[in-house]
């Protein structure tokens, strides 16, 4: 039996991986508070503005399975380094872009760099921590990673106002250079290997591996849990939260920024709690997700039916409850972890991770299309009524996701050994 790695070494590897993920989240979210500035800079409509995030999410979701296979083949360290460099290039291009087409290309590259990061971090956690600690550390990783979104919500707002578009985004790009150096110096794929390489995979082997992962109802349950929990908070944090709060609910830019930051507070507060709960009660993971989704649905319903702008306290409740959906989506990865052998872990995680971002992509585009339909005058003409129509698109996604969670929850429980699961054997 090999010796457990030193605590300091584990902390260093996890710390650098966590910081890399935080910076990726920062880049992913950096357009959220710049939507109105982007509309003015490029002279674009709501649907065109939504295309930035649509392409970013489309690329991110589409890359998840290939990235999972890359991580299984080349290891977390190499793939994460490539993602960090890609994000530096992407944000530099976005800072200098002076046309809509160039800006679209830059945001596409952001999606690629972002996609090359998170699954690497999940794989590192599974390699460096004991199985019974993985659910908690995974949740803490996802929770602390959202500090990157805080950086996009408040400091980025300040930087845009103080320095302007180009300097603010160039400063954001510089963060990745530091993380690339740290990854080279600190990160190892496992306690025994600096660079862990998997076997070469033929197309037939890739197909068989993905089919085996997808055929397990636990993977499918994790997929639909991720699909249903994440899209509301993602759409708010990436693009539509700021315009919704300012134009739809009549809040000041300062209040909107604080509300979006509160959503990150909810993520950070609830993540470790959920990690502890699923570690103690893994059989009830789907029950936790169902309860959280119904809570999000209920709060959104109150806000959208409120006569006139909702009061500030109600919007605080909205962002806090919606924010819990982010950590709840991480429960899907734990289903994938306990439903697949370690050699398929990254590819199974890729299958699951594309779910929430696919749903987020659909919602982001739907909101933009509905806003343009309701307010053809552009972003300056957005009305509260238009936002009520647009945000109601979420109900279609919730209905689909809840039905599928209930369906695969029964199938997964039929094939998973509860005793082994609760004893930590399934890891």
- Measured CA to CA, the distance from residue 254 to residue 257 in angstroms comes to 5
User: Any residues with CB less than 8 A from the CB of 291 and at least 6 apart, and which?
Assistant: none
- Measured CA to CA, the distance from residue 359 to residue 368 in angstroms comes to 14
Tell me, what's the pLDDT at 4?
A: 58
List the domain boundaries for the chain.
11-190+214-421
**Helices and strands (DSSP H and E) totals, the chain:** 20, 0
Residue positions counted in the chain: 427
DSSP characters over 341-379: -GGGHHHHHHHHHHHHHHHHHHHHHHHHHHHHHH-TT-G
Give the fold, CATH level 3, of 11-190+214-421: Growth Hormone; Chain: A; (1.20.1250)
What are the backbone dihedrals phi and psi of residue 319, each rounded to the nearest 5 degrees, phi first? -70, -30
Each residue's pLDDT, cut to its tens digit, for the chain (427 residues) gives 445 566 788 889 898 889 989 888 888 877 766 776 777 777 777 667 777 777 877 887 788 788 888 887 888 888 999 999 999 999 898 888 888 888 888 888 888 888 888 888 888 888 888 777 888 888 888 778 877 777 766 777 777 777 887 888 888 888 888 888 888 888 887 787 777 676 676 777 777 778 888 888 889 999 999 999 989 998 888 778 888 998 888 888 888 888 988 887 888 788 888 888 887 888 888 899 999 999 999 999 999 999 989 999 999 999 999 999 988 998 988 888 888 777 677 778 778 888 888 898 889 889 888 988 877 765 556 788 888 999 999 999 999 999 999 999 989 888 776 766 655 545 4
| Residue whose pair of structure tokens reads 């893994």 in the numeric block | 282
Q: Shortest CA distance to 338 belongs to which of 226, 413, 287? A: 413
Contact 94, 105 (CB under 8 A): no
User: Any residues with CB less than 8 A from the CB of 301 and at least 6 apart, and which?
Assistant: none
User: Any residues with CB less than 8 A from the CB of 306 and at least 6 apart, and which?
Assistant: 314
| Residue whose pair of structure tokens reads 């993905």 in the numeric block | 210
- Measured CA to CA, the distance from residue 260 to residue 163 in angstroms comes to 22
What tokens were used for 199? 């076997």
Tell me, what's the pLDDT at 288?
A: 92
Alpha-carbon distances, residue 215 vs 6, 212, 334, 351, 418 (angstroms): 38, 5, 16, 12, 19
Tell me, what's the pLDDT at 1?
A: 42
Measured at the CA of 165, the angle between CA 159 and CA 168, to 5 degrees, comes to 40
Residues 184-204 as b/e (b if ≥16 CB within 10 A, e otherwise) read eeebbbbeeeeebeeeeeeee
Contact 255, 133 (CB under 8 A): no
Contact 218, 336 (CB under 8 A): yes
Tell me, what's the pLDDT at 11?
A: 87
User: Any residues with CB less than 8 A from the CB of 94 and at least 6 apart, and which?
Assistant: 103, 106, 107, 110, 169
- Measured CA to CA, the distance from residue 265 to residue 146 in angstroms comes to 9
């Amino acid at each position: 039996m090999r010796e457990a790695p030193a605590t300091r070494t584990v902390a260093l590897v996890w710390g650098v991986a966590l910081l890399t993920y935080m910076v990726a989240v920062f880049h992913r979210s950096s357009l959220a508070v710049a939507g109105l500035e982007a509309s003015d800079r490029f002279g674009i409509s709501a649907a065109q503005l939504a295309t930035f995030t649509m392409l970013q999410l489309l690329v991110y979701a589409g890359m998840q399975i290939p990235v999972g296979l890359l991580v299984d083949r080349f290891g977390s360290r190499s793939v994460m380094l490539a993602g960090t460099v890609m994000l530096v290039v992407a944000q530099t291009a976005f800072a200098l872009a002076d046309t809509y087409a160039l800006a679209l290309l830059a945001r596409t590259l952001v999606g690629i760099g972002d996609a090359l990061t998170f699954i690497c971090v999940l794989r590192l956690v599974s390699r460096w921590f004991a199985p019974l600690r993985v659910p908690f550390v995974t949740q803490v990783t996802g929770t602390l990673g959202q500090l990157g979104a805080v950086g996009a919500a408040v400091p980025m707002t300040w930087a845009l106002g103080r320095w302007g578009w180009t300097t603010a985004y160039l400063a954001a790009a510089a963060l990745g250079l530091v993380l690339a150096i740290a990854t080279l110096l600190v990160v190892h794929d496992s306690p025994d290997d600096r660079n862990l390489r998997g076997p070469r995979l033929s197309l037939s082997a890739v197909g068989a591996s993905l089919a085996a992962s997808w055929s397990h109802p636990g993977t499918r349950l994790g997929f639909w849990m991720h699909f249903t929990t994440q899209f509301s908070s993602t759409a708010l944090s990436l693009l539509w939260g700021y315009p919704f709060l300012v134009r739809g609910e009549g809040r000041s830019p300062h209040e909107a920024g604080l509300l979006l930051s509160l959503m990150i507070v909810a993520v950070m507060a609830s993540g470790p709690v959920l990690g502890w709960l699923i570690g103690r009660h893994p059989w009830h993971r789907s029950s936790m997700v169902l309860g959280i989704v119904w809570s999000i649905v209920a709060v959104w319903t109150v806000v959208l039916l409120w006569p006139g702008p909702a009061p500030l306290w109600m919007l605080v409740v909205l962002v806090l409850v919606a924010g819990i959906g982010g950590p709840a989506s991480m429960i899907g990865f734990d289903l994938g972890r306990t439903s697949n052998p370690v050699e398929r872990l990254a590819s199974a995680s890729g299958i699951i991770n594309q779910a929430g971002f696919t749903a987020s992509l659909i919602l982001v585009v739907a909101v933009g299309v509905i806003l343009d339909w309701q307010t053809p005058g552009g972003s300056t003409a957005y009305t509260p009524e238009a936002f009520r129509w647009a945000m109601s698109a979420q109900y279609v996604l919730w209905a689909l996701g809840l039905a599928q969670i209930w369906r695969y929850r029964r199938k997964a429980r039929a094939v998973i050994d509860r005793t082994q699961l609760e004893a930590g054997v399934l890891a």
